[in-house]
Every structure is written in structure tokens, then in C-alpha cells.
Structure 1
Amino acid sequence: MKENPIPEAREFPYVINDMTWAQKHGYGTDMQRALAKLRKTDPNQRYFRGLPANRREAALDAANGSKPLNVTAKTPDGMLFQRSPEGCQSEADRKLYGDLRKWFQAKVTVDTLAEIKRTRVLGDPRFAEAVKPWAACMRAAGHPYAGPAQLRAKLPPPNDPLPRKEEIRLAVAEARCAMSSGLARTSSELDEYYAEKLEKQYRSDVETRRQLQVSALPRAHSITRTDSST
């Protein structure tokens, strides 16, 4: 399945701040259901699900390699990730990026920064202060939520969502209050502030990942040209 099969799908880690998007998609349950359907019909997944149980383990070993998992990387907060140096994924990464261990460490670090950034924004007193007028705005609109996180926690699951009109009405109210209260501006500013700090703090890994990706482009083009000519 494509890395981004539904281009309109978006994440709003702090609050919905796009009125047009909210008017069209609400909380995005339409796209979440479409994505779930795509996963079910993905040919690779269908093939794997169709394998006998005794062949699934072999298929996983072929894709991901088997033990020992001696290619390791640590996230900035100390979590350890491990993978096998064998298998299709490691072979592909090694072929593209050259140094599997260097790529794995850089990728793990950079991939983790988004969640660290989000945690820092949500924990910033400036964000908490900006939530207060947002909550007052929502109460005035008939939606008494203390913050966007509480609202999201009370939403039903995507496979059994609110009625469409109700979902859109609530999402639009969230976006409208985010804009009028200043929460959208504050969260955007804090997001940019912490993104810059983290990029400076982990500049070595950020630059390593970028350099490995750039150097992989000619190899990727060569591989795709070879595949298309066969």
C-alpha cells in the first residue's frame, strides 16, 4: 500500500485549526474508514492472511529477518529499538542507504522527535493558558469540554462515529474556537519553537538522515529504472 494513500488525511496533534477541512471531514472518520478498507484490500496483506499458519512465520522471517536482533538504536528518551540485520527490509535499507546501523539510529531518533515535540507543547504553560479561552468559547457554543484532549477522548471510535452532521458541527466549533481564542496561533508557535529546539539538539541525527536520504536517490532511481525495463 502507498505510504500516503489518502493525501487529504491530516493529523491535528493539538486542536483542529483548519475550518475548511473540518467542514468537509469533521474529525476525519470518513478517511479513517477508507484507510481501514484499503488495508483490508492491500494485496500484500491479502497474500499474508491467505498463507497457512506454518508459512506465516516464514514469511515474517523473510521480510523482517530472524534473531539475533543485533541492529539497535535508542530514542532520545532511552527506549531501545532492535531489528535483524537480515530480511528483505534490512537488505533494502542497506542497499539504499549503505550503512544499515547508521540509518536505523538516525531514523529512530528523527521519527521520535515529533512525539517529543508534541509532549513538550502540551506540557507548556502557555498552551494550558491558551486552552482556557478555547474552552470558554466551546461552552458558549454548547460543547462543555475542558480542552481538545478531553473532547477527543470522548469521541466514539471511527467504525461507529457520531452522525455525520453532528461530527462536522462539533469539529467546526472546535476549529472556530481555536481560531477566535488564539489557541490555533499559540499551538502553531509552540510547535515551531520546539521543532527548532529539537532539530538543533539532535542536529547530527537529523543531518545524517537527510544526507543518507539524498545519497540514496540515485540508487533508488537506478533500481526503479532496472525494474521497469525488465
Structure 2
Amino acid sequence: MRRFAVPSLLLLAMLAACGPGDPGAPAARAEPDAALPREATTDELATLRRAEEILERRCMARAGFDLPAAPEPVRAGPEPPPMGLVLADLGWAREHGYGARVRTPEETARLRANDPVGDHLRALTPERRAEALRAWQGGGVDTIEVTLPGGMTTGRSTRGCTSEARGELYGDFRTWFGADAVDRGATALAMNRAQADPDFTKALRGWSDCVAGRGLPHESPQRLRAALGDSAPEAKEIEYAVAEAACAVGSDLAEVVTDVEERHLAQVREQYLADVINARRMRLAALPEADRIVRDEDPSRLNTHKEGTR
């Protein structure tokens, strides 16, 4: 089964996910009719996140805090299939379950025990820990705010190592933060609209009847996954994943989901096209620099992203 080791649990709690972009000059605003670049692959995104963590740690060292390295992510096996509204790849489900989305209880325990960054921060005095968090997150100074496609507002300080690391990769943190937040928000809004689409809700009834017949009475794939949780024995995970995928294929949900997701993603992304294009361009443009940063940290490490995918 494909598994991922993750960075410090405390680090994940404190840091919002923001990917890097162009390490050079800020990207120009995209025209509405510009071609949509491809999305970064799972492996490419993992390389970007690793580079962010390395740059954050270097920044913290300059601020006087020598944080240990987070555990190296371990990646194996093929990329997972799309799992937006439903997992429909039965072969994947039988072999991998939900992949990195779910860990066994033993893996969860090992991850909690292997938390060098969190251990380091907890060992500091309260005053020193507060100083470290200000250096990391900027202390709320010079905050920029972005309105997301769903209407909510998100913000982040332009100070601190979290922002500095992304600015170093991207070239202009403010532009990156806005484009990345809107791009992620556009996807979330499209998925929310797809879930409310009458075609989806109609097809969902057949899927729900199917999983109930397998002893899993849940109204949607999201509720099925929520019932499983993010830590479960491998056999139970595969049981849930196979039920989700088999019922998606056995009903017409898999076919309906493909149409519904594509339609709503296209509509929302068209509305926010400039930011979507900028965010994708920045991720792809950052990959060579991210690879260099990761290799410099460990010269024996091979590139983590695959050329020519998608």
C-alpha cells in the first residue's frame, strides 16, 4: 500500500499549505484567454513542499533557531487516481485502498513519535517558543488578505519564514499568495457546486443503495470516508475503498461525476482564470529551483518529480 511520511505534526498545524512558484521575477497577470497550463503532479507537489520546508528551516537558522529537519517523505508506487467526489478506480482501491489519505494505527503512532520539529519547539522556554513562532509566522505584521471564490477571506503576514521561503521560490510572495489561494478556492467552490448538482444527487442514490448492500450505509463517498477516518487498519481501509469504487462503477455515478466535475471546474476556473493560470505557471516554473534545493540538501537524492507526466 502506498504511504507517505509527513512533516512534524506541529508544523502541519501551524502552517497553511502554500506552494512555491517562479524563483525569478513576479509573473505577469494572465490574460483571460490564455491557455491553461497543466497541473503539477503529486510527485512535483511533494518536491515543492520539501523545498519550502528546507527554505523555512534555513530562514529560521538565520533568525537564531536551528530547527531539525522534518522526516523525509517516503513515496512509492504510482500516482493515485483522481478522488474528488468519488474514487472510481477499482483496481487501485483493491491494491492501495485510499493511498496516502489513510494511515494504519501503527503508522500514525510512528509519525507522532517521530516529530523532531515539534519536540524541539516544545523543549524551548515559553518565551523562546513565542519568539520562534513569530519568526516563523511573522506575528501578524503586514498581513495581506485575499477574498476567496467562495466569499471567505484568508490572510497571511508578509513577514516571517513561512512567507519568506515562498517568496524566495516565487519571486514575489504577495502575487503568489493571492494566485495560489484563489486557485485552491476555485477548485473547492467547483466541488461544492458539483456536489449540489441535480445530476450528481440523482446518481448518488444508486451508489448509496449499493454500499448499503455491502454493510456500509452511507449517503455519499464523503460520509463513507469520514466514517473510516484518517487512521484505520489496512483491511478496513481497502474494504471501504473497494466498496466506494465498485459501487461507483456499478452504478452510473462514475460516469456522472466525470461530467459534473469537469463542467463546474471549467465554469469556476473561467471566472478566476488569471489567478488559476498564474498559480499553475508559478508551480511549474519553481520546479527546477525546488529540485536544486532538495538535491543540495541531499546530493544523493534523485529528482522526486517525473518528467513528461500529464
Q: TM-score range by the shorter chain?
A: 0.7 to 0.9
In structure 1, the partner of 2:245 is 175
Residue segments in structure 1 that go unaligned for 5+ positions in a row: none
Sort the Cα spacing of 1:131 and 1:47 in 2 relative to 1 into closer, same or farther, 3 A. Answer: same
Residue identity in the other structure for 1:114: T
Distance in 2 separating the partners of 1:220 and 1:122? 35
Shift of 1:176: 1.1
Kindly indicate whether residue 184 of structure 2 is the aligned counterpart of residue 119 of structure 1.
no
In structure 2, the partner of 1:31 is 103
In structure 1, the partner of 2:83 is 12
Shift of 1:184: 1.5
Shift of 1:181: 0.3
Distance in 2 separating the partners of 1:77 and 1:175? 29
Kindly indicate whether residue 220 of structure 2 is the aligned counterpart of residue 147 of structure 1.
yes
Shift of 1:78: 2.5
Shift of 1:149: 3.7
Q: How many residues align?
A: 226
Sort the Cα spacing of 1:145 and 1:98 in 2 relative to 1 into closer, same or farther, 3 A. Answer: closer
Residue segments in structure 2 that go unaligned for 5+ positions in a row: 1-6, 8-45, 51-72, 300-310
For the Cα contact (< 8 Å) 1:70–1:84, is it kept in 2? Answer: yes
Shift of 1:62: 1.0
Q: % of aligned pairs identical?
A: 35
Shift of 1:24: 3.4
Distance in 1 separating the partners of 2:85 and 2:173? 34
1:31 aligned counterpart, secondary structure: coil
Give 4+ residue runs of structure 1 displaced > 6 Å after superposition. Answer: 224-229
Sort the Cα spacing of 1:204 and 1:177 in 2 relative to 1 into closer, same or farther, 3 A. Answer: same
Sort the Cα spacing of 1:147 and 1:214 in 2 relative to 1 into closer, same or farther, 3 A. Answer: closer
In structure 2, the partner of 1:60 is 133
Q: Which moved more, 1:74-83 or 1:19-28?
A: 19-28
In structure 1, the partner of 2:264 is 194
In structure 1, the partner of 2:21 is none
Shift of 1:182: 1.5
Q: Which moved more, 1:210-219 or 1:89-98?
A: 210-219
In structure 2, the partner of 1:92 is 165
Distance in 2 separating the partners of 1:95 and 1:187? 39
Structure (1/2) with the larger helix percentage: 1
Shift of 1:131: 0.9
Shift of 1:83: 1.7
Structure with higher RCO (Cα < 8 A, 6+ apart): 2
Residue identity in the other structure for 2:193: R
Residue identity in the other structure for 2:125: P
Distance in 2 separating the partners of 1:156 and 1:128? 22
